Each structure stands twice: as C-alpha cells, then as structure tokens.
Structure 1
Amino acid sequence: MNVRVILKSLGVLCFALFFSGCMTAPKPYEQTAFALDTVIDITAYGPNAEEAVQKSLNEMTRLESLLSNYQENSEITAINKQAGGPAVSISLETEQVLQQALRYATVTNGAFDPTIGPIVELWGIGKKDDFVPSDAEISAALKHVNYHRLELDTTKHTARLLDKGMSIDVGGVAKGYILDHMEAILKAEGIQSALLNGGGDIRVIGNKPDGTPWRIGLQNPRDTEGISAKISLDKWNDIETSGDYQRFFDRDGVRYHHIFDPKTGKPTHTLSSASTVLREGMEDFPSNALLVLGKEQSLELLKQFPGIEAIFVDLDGNVSYTPGLAGSIETDR
C-alpha cells in the first residue's frame, strides 16, 4: 500500500498563504473512513457536499468488497483461495483492476507485480513485530510470485492463478482505482472543489473555494512533523506517493518496510519515497514501482509516459523532481 501524505489543514494553509481570503471561505464538509487497510479523508465544498460525499463513500465500500484481499468474501480473496484450481468469475471492476495491474507489471518488467502476495504475507510487516525471514523462506515464497501465471480471460470474465501457493495483492492499484470512482461521483453530484486523500493517493477537484490551487505537503520520510516538498496543484489533480516510512521497523541498522522488490523478495533500499504527479484524465502509474526501480531507472521508464511527473527523496533526504514540476514545487533541500 502507498504511504501517508501529510496534508496541512486548510485553516493552517490559509493562514500562512491566503489569510486575506480565508475569513469568508465556505465551510467544508469533511469525512474520514477506513478502506483497503488505510485511512480515506474527504474534504468537499458545496450545498450538497454531505450527500455527495456519502455517495462516494458508498461506492468505496462497494468496490472494496470486490477488490480487498483483507475481506473474506471479496473477489480477490476468491481468486486467491482457488490458486492452482479453476478460474473464478469476476466483475467488470475487478477485471479492470487486474488488467491495469498486469499492464503495469509488463511495462515495469516486473518491478510491479500483483502476485506479490506470498512475499507480503511472509514478511507480515506491521503484523509480525520485527520478524525477518530467512533467505530460504524468501526463496520459497518467490517461487509463487510471477505475474505471467495470473490468467485473465476478458471474454469469459474470469481470473485464475495457475499455481497453488500464489496470491494476489492489488493494493498498489486498487486504491487509486477506487479514488478515481469516488472523484467521478463527486463531480457528477456537482462538487467543484474537493480533496481526497487515500493513504498517500491524492485527488483534487478544481481549486480551493477562494480560487487558489490546492497545495500539498509531502512528508519528510525521516521526520513525521517535517515536509520534504510542497506542491501547488495548479496543473495537476493526482499525486501518488510510496515510501519506506509508514509500515516499517529498524533492526541492526537496517530499515525493513512494506514495499518489496518482486525479484528479491526483500524491501527496497533505493529511495525513501517516490511520487507520481498526473493531470486529470491520465491513467494512474504505480509509485511503488518507482521505489523498486530507483531514480535513474524510473526516469528512463517515464520517458515512455509523457506528462507523468515524479518526485524522488533519496536515502539521505535529498529531493529531486522531473523538469515539468519546475515552478510548482518547493523543496527543503
């Protein structure tokens, strides 16, 4: 799952930057929920904001019931239970998410792999204290990680894991997919100003009520109260961030976190965080794949995706970003 992004509260941000316009700002409707093992925060403005937000949350609940591998009766869980057995009938939504996941796996040459489930379960980051599996255990789990062994039939609308012991974890794409649907509902309900934060995946609608762009602060990976960069979303409406600082433990000077390299079965040690920044209408891109690839390989890969910008924080806290963000980003160093 992607990492938390610090969102400076509207009141604080207004006081710091837009004080003159904040005194008459309309009151937001705010709601917090929990889905896909992360916190979802929504802030929306408008006369029917409460109703619109509730409809979007209902859609979130519906999609989570299909896509979460944490829910016993989800379609993803059903596929995992049938690993090595018959194909499972799936909904259009699950099919779309799996298509997207397989496409990412292909273009990243496996740096993103939706069949990473056995490795995630083995390490159990956040669930097994400071457990570090042996190389033999990791090797055994890696035998069941291979996105080529996930069979998707878009004619029969079925999915199948070809080997027993395989399992899917689509958290890296499902959350963004769900937020896109929630955003679409808010727009359909007439909401023209809103912000959605899903554990590091951000969607904004329009500008803030005073007409200024939304500004987002990206958390400093080594300081829970600090910010590595501030971005003005004057040209973009979508940010996705992954990093090594939300679910982790340190042992013998090594940080073990929840984002794994599918080829090694171990946590990445290339960057502290990586973010993708996109315009409305562009297809999401998994920021956790950039964490696996590292900065140089990520920049090379992103040449295939014009319009996708990226922000990197290295292990020493240094911030760098793609040229398209110049003028819209401030960094601490």
Structure 2
Amino acid sequence: MQHAIEWVHVAISKAYQVIEEIQFLMSFHDKSSALNQLNATAHLNAVQTHPWVYAILQRAQKIHDYSNGLFDCSIAPILVDYGFLPAHHAHENRVFLRASQQDMILLPDHKILFKQPLCLDLGGIAKGFAVDLAIHCLRQQGITNAVINAGGDLRVMGNIEEPIYIRNPVQPQQVQYLGRLSEGAMATSGSYFATKNHHHQQVSHLIHPLTQQSMITEKSFTVIAPQAWLADALTKVLVLSQNTHHECFKRFGAQGLITEKFESE
C-alpha cells in the first residue's frame, strides 16, 4: 500500500514538473523564456526553439487557419498596451503594422521565422497544452484515471466521470451544474475576471485580431473537446464568432456553449 502511494506521488510530481517546464518555456511574463526569445529575434533570423514550443505553434497555426484568423497569438502588443502583459525591452519601439500569425513560418528542425516583427502570446492555448502533457506524463507513469483542473481548463482521463460547473458570467461566484465529463477536456472563457480601465475606457483581455478591439461581454464561453489545448484555443473562436456552429467545432470534434446570466437557486 505504501509503495502504491509513493508511486502515485512520484507520478504527480513528474506531471507538475511538466507544467512548470511549459511555464518556463512559454511565459510571456518571463523575459528570458523561449517564447520571448522568438519575439525578440525571429524576425531577424530563423530561431531553433524547444520541440514543445514548436508543437504548440503548429497547433496554434492550425486553429488560426481553420478559424480564418479569429484565433491569433500575435495580439500581444495590444495586451501590452492595455497593461495585461509586461512591456519587455525587446518589444519596445517595435512596429507591428497589420502583423498576424500568417507572418510566422514553421521551418524544419523546430526552427521559426517571422516575416516581420511579431509579438506572440500563448496565453490562449498554453495552459491547455500543459494540461495535456501532464496527462500524457501520468499515463506514461501507469496512471489510468486522473483529473487535472487548471483554473478554467479541465481534462479527464480514464473510466471516471467528473461533474462540471460553469460560472454565472454576471455573478461569477455563482455556479451551475452542467453535467459530467469523461475522457475529454473543457475550457471556459469570459471577461468577468479580466477587465480594467484603460484611458477612461473599460477593456478586457479578449481581443478581436481582425478589428483589434477589446470585447466586454456578460456571457461565458465553454468548449468541450478531446484535448485541453483544443478546448482552450477554441474558446477564443467561440468568443469572437459568437457561433456555436462554427466550422472549427465540427472539424475538431468539439462542442461550444454560450452561457448568459442565470438565476441562482
């Protein structure tokens, strides 16, 4: 029994190490991260990056293409301007005129090249990616049933059913039972926890990449998908399209749900 407990603790510890490694590689807040190394120099020369960074950028590019640009990690300069992200020295005095993820080129050998200066933020996909890698790590350690809840991103593995709840978007302290999730992932996004005043105007972290406008909404947006990175990314497509039947959901085997305020019981 003691051996089994120790084995589980070792597996959990390794899964946490994977999540920490993703944070180290992909954090916009860490000026020395692999992501910020790309932001600083990939428009000058092709940069060979970590395989995980390359893998997440491949996924991000796929969602960008299939969403017709609704999902775009190059909106970081707007988030910097609003104060949601730090203004690193590498991003100062940079011109990002009409830049988008289309200006990112994925080359062989995990190399990335930007056609022009870009400033990428992986906050819309990295958490889900970290959850998926942690689940993969647990599976490699022999764990067959697990739940990882990373604050808005949920992944369930094995023969278990996890009850899932969604917040009331106008009173987020209230929750409502949605159902049970097994062998899948769920992510929810909204502006209720991330708004601030910018030049006497209320703004949120939800940015429409085609108009560069911030979105304030009294709705929440939930996606259920096979993997957490996918659910994470597709919430942004759902927020911006306001369309639960967007072609991305069918293509990736996902479901979207838009929630308006509900009465507390």
Scaled by the length of structure 2, what TM-score is found? 0.83
Could you say if the C-alpha distance between residues 172 and 306 of structure 1 is closer, same or farther in structure 2, counting changes exceeding 3 Å? closer
Residues 137-152 of structure 1: matches in 2 within 5 Å?
143-152=97-106
2:90 match: none
Matched residue pairs, number? 255
Q: Determine which of 151, 158, 162 is the counterpart of 1:214.
A: 162
1:203 match: 155
1:226 to partner: Cα distance: 0.6
Could you say if the C-alpha distance between residues 229 and 253 of structure 1 is closer, same or farther in structure 2, counting changes exceeding 3 Å? farther
1:287 to partner: Cα distance: 0.9
Q: What is the letter of the counterpart of residue 221 of structure 1?
A: P
1:282 to partner: Cα distance: 9.7
Kept in 1, the 8 Å contact 2:129–2:229? The answer is: no
Kept in 2, the 8 Å contact 1:217–1:229? The answer is: yes
Deviations 1:148-188 (A, max 9, x none): 111221x2421122223x20111212211111110111122
1:163 match: 116
CA RMSD of aligned residues (A): 3.1
1:325 match: none
Q: What is the letter of the counterpart of residue 18 of structure 2?
A: E
CA distance in 1, matches of 2:221, 2:123: 17
Could you say if the C-alpha distance between residues 253 and 87 of structure 1 is closer, same or farther in structure 2, counting changes exceeding 3 Å? closer
Q: Determine which of 182, 186, 205 is the counterpart of 2:138.
A: 186
Scaled by the length of structure 1, what TM-score is found? 0.67
1:54 to partner: Cα distance: 0.6
CA distance in 1, matches of 2:134, 2:97: 37
1:308 aligns with 2:261: no
Kept in 2, the 8 Å contact 1:126–1:247? The answer is: no
Kept in 2, the 8 Å contact 1:86–1:160? The answer is: yes
Q: Determine which of 12, 31, 35 is the counterpart of 1:53.
A: 12
1:7 match: none
Larger gyration radius, structure 1 or structure 2: 1
1:105 match: 64
1:233 match: 181
Question: Secondary structure at 1:97's aligned position in 2?
Answer: helix
Q: Determine which of 287, 292, 305 is the counterpart of 2:235.
A: 287
Question: Secondary structure at 2:245's aligned position in 1?
Answer: helix
Could you say if the C-alpha distance between residues 332 and 230 of structure 1 is closer, same or farther in structure 2, counting changes exceeding 3 Å? farther
1:73 aligns with 2:47: no
Greater shift, 244-253 or 88-97, is seen at 244-253
Could you say if the C-alpha distance between residues 269 and 109 of structure 1 is closer, same or farther in structure 2, counting changes exceeding 3 Å? farther
CA distance in 1, matches of 2:258, 2:61: 24
2:203 match: 256
Deviations 1:49-74 (A, max 9, x none): 22111100111122222222222222
Structure 1 gaps, min length 5? 1-44, 129-139, 319-330
1:31 match: none
CA distance in 2, matches of 1:158, 1:304: 31
CA distance in 2, matches of 1:186, 1:255: 42
2:55 match: 96
Q: What is the letter of the counterpart of residue 279 of structure 1?
A: P
Could you say if the C-alpha distance between residues 111 and 227 of structure 1 is closer, same or farther in structure 2, counting changes exceeding 3 Å? same
CA distance in 2, matches of 1:91, 1:280: 21
1:272 match: 219
Could you say if the C-alpha distance between residues 92 and 311 of structure 1 is closer, same or farther in structure 2, counting changes exceeding 3 Å? same
More helix by share: 2
- Identity rate of aligned residues, in percent? 22
Q: What is the letter of the counterpart of residue 224 of structure 1?
A: P
